[in-house]
Structure 1
Amino acid sequence: MSENGSVVPLYHLVEEESGTVIIVAREIGGFFVESDHAQSEDIFIFGSAREPVRLGKDLSDVELRVVNSLGSAIGSYYIGRVGLCSTFEGKGSPGQGGFVATFYGYTCPYVTAGAIWRRWASGTPLVKGEWVRYPVESHGSWLHVVQNSWFETGHAAKRYDVGEICLIDGRQILSESSFYCALGESINGPGGYFGSTLDGLADCLASSRNAPFKLMWEHFSGAQERMGASLAASAMDVLREFGVDVTLR
């Protein structure tokens, strides 16, 4: 929200090559959907055009950017072709409508990512363990936002020097996604990324060879059961392969 109570635009539809902002939107409906959801043809863009657009004519080379309260990009999705089908008006709110569009079947399979992006864009710093407050089924969406934003904002797949000893609280790990959320935060701080797959973890470690660290993993046995013994063992193997001193408690 802005100081006057209006909703700050969260999304820009941008022509990627030129960087021209075509549409600004408060919300995008029908894009963040369940992974087993049928491909959505109806995308609701709650916003307005900044450049001349024509219904029935496709926009090309479009990137959907997530922007924060200062207007800086914190995330992005390359959509490519976008069709503007019709317009709609907000009920009881003239000028608060938008466009019914199609992204030609392209959706994002992280249903709560939109709400999480809104939190990240607010301007209020993330706090340690904030992701734990979300239901376990939302941890995959949180991890998706972490990874997307990490690279969009110019970070590399590596460890930044935030301390020699990193701590994981195994009680927070309820799934595979939870593990990577906890690992990224323990190594790179709130909102930090350190892989979302074993290959991603190895990439981060390979880029961090000159920044050795120790990892202390508390309440390991319960975490191992919930995330899966195979994943826990494989993660331990990767960490130790790259010289991480892991202590289990």
Structure 2
Amino acid sequence: MSESGLIIPLYHIVEEESGKVVIAAHEISGFFVETGAQAADVLIYGSARESVRLGKDLPDVELRVVNSLGKAIGSYYIGRVGLRSTLEGKGSPEQGGFVATFYGHTCRYATAGAIWRRWASGRPLANGEWARYPVESHDSWLHVVQNSWFETGHAAKRYGVGDICVLDGREILGESSFYCALGESVNGPGGYFGSTLDGLADCLASSRNDSAPFELVWEHFSGAQEKMGASLSASVMDVLREFDVDVTLR
């Protein structure tokens, strides 16, 4: 909600071909779900901006996450969306909307919706903000990082100009948190620098052509290694050294 009291959309359901916004919604329930959860109805809290008919599919649509200025900061290709019925406002017009089916299409990052709301707020992300979330939400944060990074026009490479990047191993509690920490170390808060070993290699390969080599100072490495596992830690080190990153372990 804005300071003026207006409800600001967080999601747009958009026609893929024309780019028209069909429905603007401030909340969607049933799309961001736990892995293994059964697909259910999706509740879209918002209103139509184009003419829609209940019982008829929207044939080729994308779900876009938008910020307070209406600019897309993330996206999901859905395909068909079926509008089954309307939601009544129950005394509050903001609660109105549609009961829909995405035909089994879901996002298996359960807390991504809450994280998207934070990203859309317009407030700058803080260093280490991702680490304030429970460890089970770090994969959702990483998912939002990667989705938004490419949606907003970034490439898989290093944008920072500093010669030294510092990685705080105390914040690394597993594989997802490692990539959250690395992306922030290399590209600042909300920054992406891979989400898998292959993604890390892609970022390093692109960066090698566009910027000078950098040094990675990995503080509290032994604790991070224990949380990540020796195999993953060794594989990460191999990839970094393959692309001539000077790694200092502390």
User: Does TM-score exceed 0.5, indicating one fold?
Assistant: yes
CA drift of 1:220 comes to: 0.3
Counterpart of 2:85, as a letter, is: S
Deviation at 1:41, TM superposition (A): 3.0
Partner of 1:236: 237
Native 8 Å contact 2:42 2:99 kept in 1:
yes
Please state if 1:9 is matched with 2:9.
Answer: yes
Separation in 2, partners of 1:230, 1:199:
15
| Aligned equivalent of 1:227 | 228
Provide, for residues 210-244 of structure 1, a one-character-per-residue CA deviation record: whole Å limited to 9, x for no partner.
42110000000000000111111000000000000
AA aligned to 2:223 is G
Which residue identity does 2:34 align to in structure 1? Answer: E
Aligned match of 1:84:
83
| 1:94 Cα deviation after fit | 3.4
Aligned to 1:164: 163
RMSD across aligned positions (CA): 0.9
1:199 aligns with 2:188: no
Letter paired with 1:60: P
Superposed displacement of residue 8, structure 1: 1.2
**Farther-moved stretch of structure 1 (155-164 vs 219-228):** 155-164
User: Deviation of residue 95 (structure 1)?
Assistant: 5.7
Letter in 1 for 2:214: F
Q: Aligned pair in 2 of structure 1 residues 95, 153: CA closer, same or farther (>3 Å)?
A: closer
Contact 2:31 / 2:106 at 8 angstroms: preserved in 1? yes
- CA distance, structure 2, for counterparts of residue 147 and residue 73 of structure 1: 14
Q: Aligned AA for 2:18?
A: S
CA contact (8 A) 1:89 1:95 kept: no
Aligned-pair CA distance for 1:91: 1.9
1:142-153 equivalences in 2 (<5 Å): 142-153=141-152
Alignment of 1:32-43 (within 5 A): 32-38=32-38, 40-43=39-42
AA paired with 1:17? E
Deviation readout 1:56-80 (Å, 9 max, x if unpaired): 0000110000000011000000000
- Opposite residue 107 of structure 1, the aligned amino acid is T
Q: Secondary structure at the match of 2:166?
A: strand
Residue type at the aligned position of 2:63:
L
Q: Check the 8 A contact 1:58/1:83 in 2, yes or no.
A: yes
Letter in 1 for 2:242: E
Q: Which residue of 2 aligns with 1:22?
A: 22
Q: Where do 4+ consecutive residues of structure 1 move more than 4 Å?
A: none
Measure, in 2, the Cα distance between the counterparts of 1:189 and 1:95: 36
Paired with 1:242 and 1:193, the residues of 2 have a C-alpha distance of 17
Unaligned runs of 5+ in 1: none
Structure 2: segments with no counterpart, 5+ residues: none
- Between Structure 1 and Structure 2, how many residues are aligned? 248
Identity of aligned residues (%): 81
The TM-score with structure 2 as length reference comes to 0.97
Query: SS at 1:75's partner residue?
Result: strand
Q: Which amino acid aligns with 1:247?
A: T
CA 1:64 to 1:203, structure 2 compared with 1: closer, same or farther past 3 Å? same
Output the CA distance in 1 between the equivalents of 2:101 and 2:218.
46
Q: Deviations over 1:123-171 (max 9, x none)?
A: 0011110001100000000000000000000000000133110000000
For the pair 1:60 / 2:59, whether they are aligned, the reply is yes
Alpha-carbon contact 2:35-2:109 (below 8 Å) kept: yes
Contact 2:12 2:65 in 1 (8 A): yes
Using a 3 Å threshold, how does the CA distance of structure 1 residues 207 and 28 change in structure 2: closer, same or farther? Answer: same
Q: 1:223 to 1:95 in 2, by over 3 A?
A: closer
Alpha-carbon distance in structure 1 between the residues aligned to 2:107 and 2:143: 10
The separation in 2 between residues aligned to 1:125 and 1:103, in whole angstroms, is: 32
* Cα displacement (A) at 1:16: 1.0
Q: What is the Cα deviation at residue 101 of structure 1? A: 0.2
